[in-house]
A = this chain, B = another copy of it.
């Protein structure tokens, strides 16, 4: 196992110490694994909390800040955070207007966020959960009933975060989060496995000339294993799958996301192929993200996420954001 770590047991804690030291805009409770904005809760603003297993950085901690999340609770690598963490995060960001839980659709995350929401409600904090399930690759995968939640999480956190920042109420913020999820679809491709530190060996094996089409963000199996083909063919595989479930017409927000071990030069090349495909099918890439936003440790590969924009969603995407990993307009 080739990793920049001290020991598998302390990876998450030590990385959180690094996050705390690197970003004065964040307040990091390393012991309880809760990342919040340094300024404390914003009075009368809906609080946004997300969380999930570590190993997907910058998701979620890198998206805590003005215009996006109020808190993130990271679990151990590829392991759901516990309800106590989620409750602590919910309490910490409660400004009196209720709290939105952004939950990726994995069984552990969904159950634990549900327990945390019940505990918070017992304390008089109104909580609404929104479950993200944008990955069209497979139904009922390892760890998941239904579709997996992947790249759309970034879009939901940004757009719902912007609406919350503008002072909208909990019902409206939850509604736009659900709308973004419903209008978004993703598909991922792996060229290599990742290595979970505690396991010490690759999660799966891929041949020298193979790719896993429809990979999950924890290395869960996709639709099929196939020969590694040129970038334009991989773009078509991903977008054919997305398009079978959601038209890629009109103004679109498109993310070409790196899985963690793929260099930026390849992501830009892949974005170019995605853009050409979309334009060839009547769509227009009105907004984009190209880079590492929801990763799977050192896995090589990419995912594409497409969101159908509307006259309401585009300005919320464009609204100012100031987080470690996403920052513009302020």
Contact = CB atoms under 8 A, between A and B. Distances in A.
Interface stretch (A120-128, A157-165, A260-268): A260-268
Given A228-B2, A275-B21, A263 B298 contact: yes
A18 B275 contact: yes
Contacts of A16: 268
B261 A300 contact: yes
Interface stretch (A134-142, A230-238, A241-249): A230-238
A55 interface: yes
A88 interface: no
Interface string A285-313: 10010101001011011100000000000
A264 B56 CA distance: 9
Interface string A275-289: 100000000010010
A285 B168 CA distance: 39
Interface stretch (A3-11, A79-87, A173-181): A3-11
A15 interface: yes
Interface string A60-73: 00100000000000
A266 B298 CA distance: 10
A234 B295 CA distance: 24
Q: Give the oligomeric copy count.
A: 2
A54 interface: yes
Contacts of A271: 18, 21-22
Interface string A183-196: 00000000110000
A176 B266 CA distance: 34
A65 to B, nearest CB: 12
A19 B288 CA distance: 11
A114 to B, nearest CB: 27
A272 interface: yes
Contacts of A6: 230-232, 269, 273
A19 B268 contact: yes
A169 interface: no
B272 A18 contact: yes
A327 interface: yes
Interface in A7-55: 7, 11-12, 14-19, 21-22, 54-55
A272 B21 contact: yes
A52 to B, nearest CB: 13
Given A5-B269, A327-B328, 12 more contacts: A2-B300, A4-B269, A6-B232, A14-B269, A14-B273, A18-B267, A21-B275, A22-B271, A57-B264, A57-B265, A57-B268, A261-B261
Interface of A: 2-7, 11-12, 14-19, 21-22, 54-55, 57-58, 62, 77, 191-192, 208, 228, 230-232, 234, 260-273, 275, 285, 288, 290, 292, 295, 297-298, 300-302, 327-328
6 contacts: A4-B231, A260-B261, A261-B300, A265-B297, A298-B300, A327-B327
